[in-house]
Structure 1
């Protein structure tokens, strides 16, 4: 074959082959694409009706933060929208979780939600539904396993139709503004494992039908206005229950003494402010595996039985506070972890002989205990909180306190009969934030070793027999101090100017000592006393004038020989007690004598707060509850929250002070 025809033939052949390859590639690609599109349509694209329901849900909300920005715009497939999950096989919406995107969402619930017929998980927590009611149409979502609408500003009663959700496992309507009763029909939710109706404004009784929820593991109806009797019928068949919270209601527990509840191992039982007394609740004897027991403020006025002190080894929290329980402390249990114990404000008495070695926190305040504090040497170094105030303990402080140097945050030994010098070993407590030794008989000087406790926020050494000068190191090293009280001692000398370095100081009481000399001009710079951010007008932030001197009618010169001048900053009021004069508060002058009843009452309320314990949950109920001894409770939390607890003590104290000084 000639060369040129041969080359032409070959080129034609290659060209045809190329066309075939390209055609095959395009055809294959199109076929593949068609299959992929079909796959997308068959398994991931959402149903049109469900897409319409979601768009209507969005249309009923105001979204100021544009949290649902991708709903219905760039992305048409609702299965790809924020908070939406679909079934991979049929494309139906199975989950709608908007709690993480709820910030800035407000409005009402769409009436088209029932179109999401395959929905199993619905979480609308945190959306502001502006006091709209819970729509009864939610009962049409019969596939629901999980319904959570907590903290959503819902109002009205709980629709009894929700009992039609027979597949429901978890129901959480907590932290709303609901009203009315818990529906009796909830007894039909036999699959339910988790029921949380806490903090929702509910009234009425706890229906007996709750006892039919045989799979229930978690029940929380705390902080409502519920009342009535709680009997064996409510709990006898709840064998799966591991968490029970009836606190802060008006329940009266009438449980038979031989009732054998079969709560799960390590159960959490919270019955604070329920009426369990006057007799000690004998049914606790059948619950020997609880991990958490709170029966504080329960109207118990009985002798504590000996069997009670045989506590479960898995205990993490025990609160018997604010009752009138009598008897002696005879606790020999050995714990696996480090529990917190609050036995405060009862009628317990006698010497403390034996304590468990493993304790994270111990509050024995407000009892009638006596004897020395040698029992503290039995507790190992992990103790973080110790309150023995308002008892009859005597003797000197044991040196073994120094073993708590890496963990102890709060030490309150106020209002006892302790004596001797404050040991220098206290200076090894490097984590200490609050030291209360008020109303004892300590003598000697304030130990210089306390300068090592640089995290101290609150120091109260008042009403002892301490002598010497006010140490200069207080201003140099205790820069975190919020409150300093050394009133009613035998201190002498002048006020050190280094005190002016306490930029965070909010309360200072040096009254009833033998101090002399001038008050440093820089005392007028204690601006933190007015600017630390107390809310709700606890402290006013203005002064009408700036004053340089005070008259002899305000500063009692028969007790203060030379304190004739003081300075008040124009930036705000502050609580500054010097001898028997309150120098200024919101521009008001008022003299307080040493035995002034008002001052005594202020300190009483102050110390009532100290004995109440600490915790994150505590911050939510401070205010009036904080100052009501019968409403206090003790919650143990991580050390990161101790500063907040201490701060609230002072905030509430200032509120009390402000109210009394403006009468």
Structure 2
């Protein structure tokens, strides 16, 4: 899952549950109705026939999710109780009218049904049906049958997350008694709960929506999350009945300005628009709906300031506004008016000023998110103990961390990272038995262990004190057996890694990068370790051969140590490995061809070691198909450029990459964002997030020879290509003109000859070009990006002419006759040299980089310095972040 998807999920997951857990009270517990009359044989036969239309598949939904939404705990099918000879009114999920015996309610939610939904289903014979719930089944992208209009008495319809697809039929607007309608399509049947990429399978067009609004005069609850309404004008929603109580339109591709008059509807209690990035709404300055309890506009665009009038919402329980708000938090909001509030999220805005004191006194507040704003000043002491999540990260808060945090006995998630806190923390502060995550990184904090306290944190799984002043390991963590992520990078820790860290078998992420740690890495690792980041330390010796067949590593980063010896071949057992960075060490080995079999490998950095020999593949077939970043620079590789590998770099051939919404490489569960040291345009950067659109090849400072192969022109998603400081000969390949996404190209300090091909004018994204110190001749191409490059892009090529050089070209680009004679003589000499190379002559290597002087590429500025929020709730706890009903 990418960064923006993760951000959307972090902000909106609680509201997604609310999307499903709406007041479909008549259908959620249909089987609870008592019956005194036998159902008709015709209706019983219709239900049995419907049952035979589907198979039972225990994998079609997530059981924990159904438990959260529908209070269904057992993983079984209700239709198993449907048998001939038994009154159908006693079947699970079926309830009947006490007088007539007609089936009036059918609840088959989370029923494990799998198969296509027939348009002639016998279900439509149940003419008296008033409530139908088919949520969380798998109807395999069936169309919603138009015959649904036959349920003329239907009041409640829930077919959410059941894998319907296609256009919502206009006939659904012919249900005159419909009170609640849920067509949500966000959740899938895997362990991820929901999948934004696979939503929008259902399409609601303008005509259908217009009929819905006009005909369903009784509708009170309308839930359309994940339904594609990209062609709909938001103004149509103005005509909904003023009796509306619930409207959820999360992630619906709506665009334009949504009418804020809905927020004045007299009966509106719940309203959500989040996940519609092209949708805006102006918050009303007055006359809000007084019964409003749940409001979610995160993330989208509200703009402007948070109006004072929001303080009139005395019934508010859930407020989430991450929508570009600015200014200070209004004084009209206070604890007396918002005393029912249990969820407050004003994160990712531009709010400034200090935190208002009423926030620290809200008696029922469980979730507080004010992260990613511009708040300043100190934090008051907390006067309530109901908080379960506290996130004030990425602000300008300062001073000490209040010791009243130790009184928040229900606290499970604490994030105060990236502020200006200056404090000496005592380990006793964290003696909270429910704490699962502690994130205090990027502050001026130090820590003192209380040696007299027997501190145990039984639920702690995530601990991050990176970029603090620790000087030593927090030993109180030795008793936290459930620890899964330990992040202590850039914390001035010295010495050896204590043995107790290596003994934590549930540990998945260990980031101790950029400290003063030394010694040797032990021959054993926690079995479940997925990320090991030890870059920027002083570890020495060989890399241990501890990669067994059960290896779960996804990221191994040993960059910038003193490791020597060979690269262990046992790494081939790490089939999930995505990033391998052993750059800037003393490893003495040949190219690790055996890594080409790793199916997930995307980043391979062997820079600045003593690797030597030939690089190209020794076998036929796919190799490194997912590799996006390859850095072999500053080694001793020889021979031609690796043509066979280049032919298989499929991930660098994607012409459909989208720079508008970049994603970041993360650990498979999204709890850790990878970092990487890269050379971009000749300058070294440590990226705190690796964009999936970043594709680059750096083979500089080796002894590669021969010509630049034409096949390299197939890598049309490349952002950067550096082949400098080698022995490359021949002309610049015209195929480089196909690299239309290229932003930097360095071919300097080689033996290249001939003219600069005009095809390079196609590189309209190119912002850095270095062709210096070769034997290029002729006229420099004119126009487009070439008009922006300076003399340093071409210096050391005495036979080049034209802008920006002071040497002009005669006529239409021919060199003066004196230059032509010298050039022909030089060309003859080059042919002799080429023949010599074919016999084994290798030219000397020009050492050192030619450093570029300009800034970062256009997409680089969007990098975030920080880590993705980890999943903060286990499934069993997700129920408590579902907005409650009054």
Partner of 2:600: 407
Preserved contact between residue 518 and residue 565 of structure 1 (Cα < 8 Å): yes
Partner of 2:556: 362
Preserved contact between residue 358 and residue 382 of structure 1 (Cα < 8 Å): yes
Preserved contact between residue 223 and residue 247 of structure 1 (Cα < 8 Å): yes
Query: Looking at both structures, which has the greater relative contact order when contacts are Cα pairs under 8 Å and sequence separation is at least 6?
Result: 2
Partner of 2:389: 194
Match of 2:752 among 506, 509, 515: 515
Write out per-residue CA displacement over residues 391-448 of structure 1, whole angstroms, 9 at most, x where no aligned residue: 00011123321221x2111101000011111141596001111110000001111122
Q: Displacement of 1:253 after TM fit?
A: 1.4
Q: Displacement of 1:255 after TM fit?
A: 2.3
In structure 2, do the counterparts of structure 1 residues 307 and 243 end up closer, same or farther at CA, with 3 Å as the change threshold? closer
The root-mean-square deviation of aligned C-alpha atoms, in Å, is 4.0
Preserved contact between residue 133 and residue 156 of structure 1 (Cα < 8 Å): no
Q: Displacement of 1:125 after TM fit?
A: 3.2
Partner of 1:430: 625
Q: Displacement of 1:339 after TM fit?
A: 1.2
Partner of 2:407: 212
Q: Displacement of 1:495 after TM fit?
A: 1.8
Partner of 1:442: 637
In structure 2, do the counterparts of structure 1 residues 479 and 618 end up closer, same or farther at CA, with 3 Å as the change threshold? closer
Preserved contact between residue 125 and residue 150 of structure 1 (Cα < 8 Å): yes
Q: Displacement of 1:375 after TM fit?
A: 4.3
Q: Displacement of 1:183 after TM fit?
A: 0.4
Partner of 2:350: 153
Q: Which runs of structure 2 are paired with 1:121-520 in the superposition (5 Å)? A: 121-126=318-323, 128-133=325-330, 135=332, 137-184=334-381, 186=382, 188-236=383-431, 238-256=432-450, 260-265=454-459, 267-277=461-471, 279-310=472-503, 312-336=504-528, 339-356=530-547, 357-377=551-571, 379-404=573-598, 406-424=599-617, 428-450=623-645, 451-456=647-652, 457-475=695-713, 477-520=714-757
Q: Displacement of 1:109 after TM fit?
A: 3.2
How many residue pairs are counted as aligned between the two chains? 518
Gaps of 5+ in 1: 1-35, 37-43, 46-50, 55-62, 84-90, 531-538, 541-553, 610-614, 622-632, 639-663
Paired with 2:760 and 2:507, the residues of 1 have a C-alpha distance of: 49
In structure 2, do the counterparts of structure 1 residues 303 and 68 end up closer, same or farther at CA, with 3 Å as the change threshold? same
Paired with 1:300 and 1:371, the residues of 2 have a C-alpha distance of: 26
Partner of 1:535: none
In terms of mean alpha carbon deviation, does 195-204 or 448-457 score higher? 448-457
Paired with 1:276 and 1:582, the residues of 2 have a C-alpha distance of: 56
Preserved contact between residue 440 and residue 463 of structure 1 (Cα < 8 Å): yes
Q: Which runs of structure 2 are paired with 1:85-96 in the superposition (5 Å)? A: 93=291, 95-96=293-294
In structure 2, do the counterparts of structure 1 residues 174 and 565 end up closer, same or farther at CA, with 3 Å as the change threshold? same
| Larger radius of gyration between Structure 1 and Structure 2 | 1
Paired with 2:860 and 2:742, the residues of 1 have a C-alpha distance of: 24
Q: Does 1:107 align with 2:305?
A: yes
Paired with 2:869 and 2:365, the residues of 1 have a C-alpha distance of: 33
Paired with 2:450 and 2:537, the residues of 1 have a C-alpha distance of: 24
Paired with 1:439 and 1:243, the residues of 2 have a C-alpha distance of: 41
Preserved contact between residue 513 and residue 579 of structure 1 (Cα < 8 Å): no
Preserved contact between residue 114 and residue 137 of structure 1 (Cα < 8 Å): no
Paired with 1:500 and 1:169, the residues of 2 have a C-alpha distance of: 57
Partner of 1:599: 850
Write out per-residue CA displacement over residues 427-472 of structure 1, whole angstroms, 9 at most, x where no aligned residue: 6001111110000001111122121113233111111111211112
TM-score by length of 2: 0.53
Partner of 1:526: 763
In structure 2, do the counterparts of structure 1 residues 154 and 509 end up closer, same or farther at CA, with 3 Å as the change threshold? closer
Partner of 1:619: 863
Q: Displacement of 1:511 after TM fit?
A: 1.3
SS at match of 2:428: helix
Partner of 2:17: none
Write out per-residue CA displacement over residues 97-118 of structure 1, whole angstroms, 9 at most, x where no aligned residue: 13248523533333572561x4
Partner of 2:37: none
SS at match of 1:599: coil
Paired with 1:80 and 1:383, the residues of 2 have a C-alpha distance of: 44
Preserved contact between residue 311 and residue 337 of structure 2 (Cα < 8 Å): no
Paired with 1:590 and 1:327, the residues of 2 have a C-alpha distance of: 57
SS at match of 1:508: strand
Partner of 2:783: 569
In structure 2, do the counterparts of structure 1 residues 422 and 193 end up closer, same or farther at CA, with 3 Å as the change threshold? same
Paired with 1:358 and 1:583, the residues of 2 have a C-alpha distance of: 55
Q: Displacement of 1:378 after TM fit?
A: 5.1
Gaps of 5+ in 2: 1-176, 178-219, 222-241, 246-254, 274-288, 653-694, 808-844, 872-886
Paired with 2:415 and 2:861, the residues of 1 have a C-alpha distance of: 15
Write out per-residue CA displacement over residues 333-373 of structure 1, whole angstroms, 9 at most, x where no aligned residue: 3434x612211101111101233422011111011000111
Preserved contact between residue 777 and residue 797 of structure 2 (Cα < 8 Å): no
